[in-house]
Structure 1
């Protein structure tokens, strides 16, 4: 019985020892394969570092202002008796807008006019008597003064009477009227907004280092959100001679034709200021740049470095051999300049002709093997346009 038990224990030990031994050897071979296996290649698109000739330009944000714009008000108070315009109407300089009740002023004007006529008749009689030497020079001078004072009173009352007719101070487009017939308005109360829209100005600011680069007459091109497909042309009208001490910026004003009244005061615009000459730069696609808190970098595509002493992985039974990859990427920090269209200028850190990864940046790291493909590659341009649906 004891001999049989010993034989059973030996057999069990041999069987389980063989199983665990095979498992151990399999794990060892798998670890060796994984350790020697190369990093999986990432599929990317790539673009070349190109030398480009860019025209000199500055870009800024501006706000449109009218050449003339105001809230039309009244100098005199009174009851509105007539309104001669509609909201949104275009008017010419001098067009009547609102009439106020002027019965009292008109009556006073007629009274003063009658007094002035009487004073003029008295002056004419005194003049004849003075020529006949029937009165003194002082009496004649008093009559002349009375006549002149009467005329001045008529003119002053005429000006007050004219204030009861509110007219457009310049040609432009009216806004929404704010008064009604029968309403009493006080002096200074707004009646309607009036804007002169053609031409129209745009104000913008630039850093002080550009004050020697811009001059009146330089051309500008403006884009607005309301008309993304259009570009409005104009030129610099004036450059502010003073630099703001708080921001170290200076102001410019450009003027643009606006015959269709597409641009409005207060509108936001992106301004491109054209400067004389051009400059040679190195440029890469925007999609190639990796922005991080520790710097701006790109992944440069280069020939894969092969270590002749590195062990070659042996394929596992039943598994295909790893594909051969000829390229890898190296992360490199660069210094970038301004952007234009789909490209960004590179000031330092890269050379002309080098290839940089333009897609799949999130899955890349140093010495990452890559496979370059043209599938899904974007066509970069200096003047991109929204895709048509």
Structure 2
């Protein structure tokens, strides 16, 4: 009985050992198969790095201002008796825009003019009497002083009367009027804005590291969100000689012709300032950059290192054709951007082949297939298609 039990235990052990052994060998073989299975290649487009000569440029945000711009107000108060302009229209320097009631001022001017006339007559009479030695020299001097005082009073009243007529101080375009006929306009009350729109100025700040690099006359170009496809050309007009100690920036003002009146005071503008200095840089398309939290990288395409002792892999049914190319990720230091190109300050050399599309499928050692049949050519100054 004991012998039979031992034999049965041995048989059970052999059977279960064989089963577990077969499972172990199957898993080991499957893992070895997947470990040695070739990685399918990814299809990408590529380009070679170029060396270009770029003119040094500075970009900065700016604010557009009018060469002359103000809100017209009244020095004197009074009822509005005439409005002689239309909102949004152009006006010339000296054009009469608004008239205030000036009846009292005119009456006072007439009274003062009459006093002036009388004082002038009295002065002439006293001159004659003085010639006849009928009066003293002090009486003549008094009469002359009275004439001068009367003239000053008349001129002062004429100035007060002129304040009742609001005129354009310069050529420009008026905004929306803020007064109505019959309305009482207090002293300093706003009437309308007046802006000179051609040309316009744009003010922008530069860091103090740029002191001495910018001079009046340097060309600038301005783009706005309202007209992103159009660039407005101008030149540097003036440079603030003082650096702001709070921001360590200095202010620059450029002047831009605006014959179409497309630029308006208060608009935000992006300024590009061209410096008369050029440099040679290695450039690549912007699509070739893989941006990540660890830094900017590119995938460099090169041939695989072949093991002379390795056996060639047998092609699998339905698998893509074999390739001898692979990619290596390389971190780079990027620089300024020009259109579709970006400058590489460190990490690449001229002539290296890099991937420009399909970056999400790539990793170090990834085999790739290059297909450049359908690819767009990057340009430094892209323009949108017309029509």
- How high is the TM-score relative to the length of structure 1? 0.90
Report the equivalent of 1:50.
50
RMSD in angstroms over aligned alpha carbons?
Answer: 2.6
Which consecutive residues of structure 1, in runs of 5 or more, have no partner in the other structure? 1-12
Report the equivalent of 1:94.
94
- Using the alignment, how far apart are the partners of 1:205 and 1:165 within structure 2? 40
Secondary structure at the aligned position of 1:329 is classed as strand
Q: Is the contact made by 1:42 and 1:364 (CA closer than 8 Å) also made in structure 2? A: yes
Report the equivalent of 1:41.
41
1:29 Cα offset (Å) = 4.3
Alignment partner of 2:346 out of 345, 348, 353: 348
- 2:307 is equivalent to residue 307 of structure 1: yes
Report the equivalent of 2:361.
363
- Using the alignment, how far apart are the partners of 1:243 and 1:91 within structure 2? 38
Report the equivalent of 1:7.
none
Secondary structure at the aligned position of 2:216 is classed as coil
Secondary structure at the aligned position of 2:170 is classed as coil
Secondary structure at the aligned position of 1:144 is classed as helix
1:224 Cα offset (Å) = 2.0
Q: How many residues align?
A: 379
Report the equivalent of 1:111.
111
- How high is the TM-score relative to the length of structure 2? 0.91
The aligned runs of 1:1-389 (5 Å cut-off) are: 28-310=28-310, 319=317, 323-387=321-385
- Using the alignment, how far apart are the partners of 2:73 and 2:212 within structure 1? 42
Q: Which moved more, 1:286-295 or 1:118-127?
A: 286-295
- Using the alignment, how far apart are the partners of 2:314 and 2:259 within structure 1? 77
Which consecutive residues of structure 2, in runs of 5 or more, have no partner in the other structure? 1-12
Q: Is the contact made by 2:174 and 2:193 (CA closer than 8 Å) also made in structure 1? A: yes
Q: Is the contact made by 1:33 and 1:315 (CA closer than 8 Å) also made in structure 2? A: no
Report the equivalent of 2:3.
none
- Using the alignment, how far apart are the partners of 2:314 and 2:103 within structure 1? 111
1:48 Cα offset (Å) = 0.9
Q: Is the contact made by 2:88 and 2:175 (CA closer than 8 Å) also made in structure 1? A: yes
- Using the alignment, how far apart are the partners of 1:98 and 1:388 within structure 2? 47
- Using the alignment, how far apart are the partners of 1:320 and 1:170 within structure 2? 80
